Chains A and B, each alone.
Chain A
Amino acid sequence: MPAPGVVLILTVVAIVLVLVFFLVSTIVALRQITKGLDEAIASVVEIIEKTAPVEEVVGTINQYLDAGVDLLEGLLVKKAGMRDAVGLVDGLYPGAAEAGFRNFPESTEITAPRISEVYTKGTLTLARLGREAPIAAASPIGGAVLRNVTGGSLAARSLYPEVRQTRPERLDRSPVTGTDSPVQYEPSDSPGVRRRLPGGTAVLDDPAPARWASSVARRRRPRRTTHRALRPPRRRARRCPP
């Protein structure tokens, strides 16, 4: 065989070997791809199966939630009125007044009263529920107040002592206290007993507190600076022998 023929045969054989190598490698790679795609397809099938009932369930949930929104919106508008309802919703969710109520398109045209900036939610609730709270007099809703605010306030004074109840102008003025106060009081040794009044007058007219104070001093109890320790002692009724 001539030399060129041998070279040709060897070249063809080499080409065939190269083709075999690359094609087999490609086949292996394609098999891996097929295996991976099978796994992916299996997972996608699972996803499809799992999400199949979601539409129905979510549809039912949305249906009930829509019914709840319709119920609450209708109840709020019915009980509070359109204007206050918009104000309340806008107070809870600022900016919600622009969107308005879903079932009341006219609610978008209402200027929401600034309810939440003036009153707290609890006060608003009291003001809405029957208007029995004093704050209902200034309620933005402008409804009639069922409770006499002034009379109610005076009635509460009966809970205090008589002077405060009927003649509050006769009550002593509250003393000015502090290091820069115009009248400086010296600290007392015993509760209820002053060393000396600022004017240099007598300490106490009633000897009973003094006796009480001396008895307290004799007991040598640890002094407590609570309001109870500064309270005048109660007089106990003693039966003196005839």
Chain B
Amino acid sequence: MTVWWILDIVLLVVVVPVVIYLLAGVLSEARGIVPSVRRIGAAAAAGSADLDAVPLLLTTQDQVIRTIETAANYGGSLDVILDDAREE
């Protein structure tokens, strides 16, 4: 009978607090991850929204091509109408 009482006391005084402590720690860490994950999701969504202008790079590409072509045309004309520098 005494052994049973000792087991009960050990169970109540040692096992139960340890179990509660460990489970509480796991739960608090799991709940602490939730806001971080939400912030990650919000940042990824914002980053994705910022990249909505990426298709405009195609327009930029066309403009750059036209600009360089125009500069090449002017350069060709200048090459014709201007004398080259004299060799020193």
Contacts and interface: CB of A to CB of B under 8 A. Distances in A.
Interface stretch (A52-60, A114-122, A185-193): A52-60
A46 interface: yes
Given A36-B40, A54-B54, A72-B75, A26 B26 contact: yes
Interface residues on B, range: 35 or more
Contacts of A199: none
Given A40-B40, A65-B68, A5 B54 contact: no
A51 B37 CA distance: 23
Contact of A57 (B38, B58, B78): B58
B23 A67 contact: no
A11 B61 CA distance: 74
B8 A68 contact: no
A60 B65 CA distance: 9
Contacts, number: 148
Contacts of A154: none
Nearest to A57: B57
Interface in B35-88: 37-38, 40-41, 43-45, 47-48, 51-52, 54, 57-58, 60-61, 64-65, 67-68, 71-72, 75, 78-79, 82-86, 88
A14 to B, nearest CB: 7
A75 interface: yes
B22 to A, nearest CB: 9
A15 B16 contact: yes
B54 A51 contact: yes
A47 B4 CA distance: 63
A8 B82 CA distance: 105
Given A15-B15, A29-B27, 8 more contacts: A4-B4, A5-B4, A11-B12, A25-B27, A50-B54, A68-B67, A79-B84, A81-B86
13 contacts: A7-B8, A15-B16, A32-B34, A36-B34, A57-B60, A58-B57, A60-B65, A61-B60, A61-B61, A65-B68, A77-B85, A78-B84, A78-B85
